[in-house]
Amino acid sequence: MILDLAIAKRRGDFALDVAVAAAGERVTALFGASGAGKSTVVQAIAGMLRPDRGHIRVDGTAFFDTGRRIDLPPERRRVGYVFQDAKLFPHLSVRDNLRYGWRRARAEERRIAVPPVVDLLALGPLLDRRPHTLSGGERQRVALGRALLAQPRVLLMDEPLAALDAPRKAEILPFIERLRDEFALPIVYVSHALDEVVRLADALVVLDRGRVRAAGPLIEVMGRPDLRGLFGPVDFGAVLEAVVTGHEGRYGLSVLATPGGELRVPRIDAPVGGRVRVRIRSRDAALALDPPSRCSVVNVLTGTIAGLELHGGAGATAQIDLNGAALLADITRLSVDRLKLAPGLAVHVLIKAVALDRGTAAPDRGAIDG
How confident is the model at residue 326, as a pLDDT?
A: 95
How long, in residues, is the chain?
370
Cα 183–Cα 141–Cα 138 angle in degrees, nearest 5? 155
Section 174-180 average pLDDT: 88
**Residue 362: predicted pLDDT:** 36
Domain layout of the chain by residue ranges:
2-222, 237-366
User: Considering only 14-18, 82-86, 235-239, which range has the smallest mean pLDDT?
Assistant: 82-86
Antiparallel, parallel or unpaired: β 53-58 and 315-322: unpaired
Nearest to 32 by CA among 210, 195, 164: 210
Q: What is the full DSSP assignment across 110-129?
A: --S-HHHHHHHTT-GGGTT-
Question: Quick check: 354 and 263 in contact, CB under 8 A?
Answer: yes
Amino acid type, 70? I
Distance CA 106, CA 21 (A): 29
Residue 26 has pLDDT above 90, yes or no: no
Q: Which CATH number fits domain 237-366: 3.50.50.60, 3.30.70.20, 3.10.580.10, 2.40.50.100?
A: 2.40.50.100
User: How much is the average pLDDT of 171-181?
Assistant: 88
First to last CA, the chain: 45
Q: Count CB neighbours of 302 within 10 A.
A: 15
Instruction: Give mean pLDDT, residues 60-65.
Output: 94
Residue type, 199: R
Mean pLDDT over the full length of the chain:
90
d(CA 285, CA 348): 10
**Cα separation of 168 and 83, whole Å?**
16
Looking at per-residue pLDDT, the higher value among 183 and 330 belongs to: 330
CA distance 71 to 77: 10
CA distance 265 to 267: 6
Instruction: Quote the CA–CA distance of 209 and 16 in Å, as a whole number.
Output: 8
pLDDT at residue number 300? 96
> What is the pLDDT confidence band of residue 316, given thresholds at 50, 70 and 90?
very high
Other beta carbons less than 10 A from residue 109's beta carbon: 13
* Whether the predicted pLDDT of 359 surpasses 60: no
Lowest mean pLDDT among 101-110, 128-137, 224-233, 309-318: 101-110
Q: Express each pLDDT in 285-299 by its tens digit.
A: 999 999 998 889 999
DSSP line for 70-103: EE--HHHH-EEEE-SS----TTS-HHHHHHHHHH
For the stretch 191-215, pLDDT in tens is: 988 889 999 999 999 999 999 999 9
Predicted pLDDT of residue 365: 43
Element spanning 331, H or E:
strand 325-332
> In Å, how far are 21, 22, 327 from 216, measured between CA atoms?
9, 8, 17
Q: Kindly state the percentage of the chain with pLDDT values over 90.
A: 68
Per-residue pLDDT at 184: 77
User: Options 3.40.50.300, 3.40.50.920, 3.30.1490.20, 3.10.20.30; which CATH number does 2-222 get?
Assistant: 3.40.50.300
320 closest CA partner among 290, 366, 288: 288
Report yes or no: 331 and 286 within 8 Å, Cβ to Cβ.
yes
The tens digit of pLDDT for each residue in 243-275 reads: 999 999 999 999 999 999 999 999 998 899 999
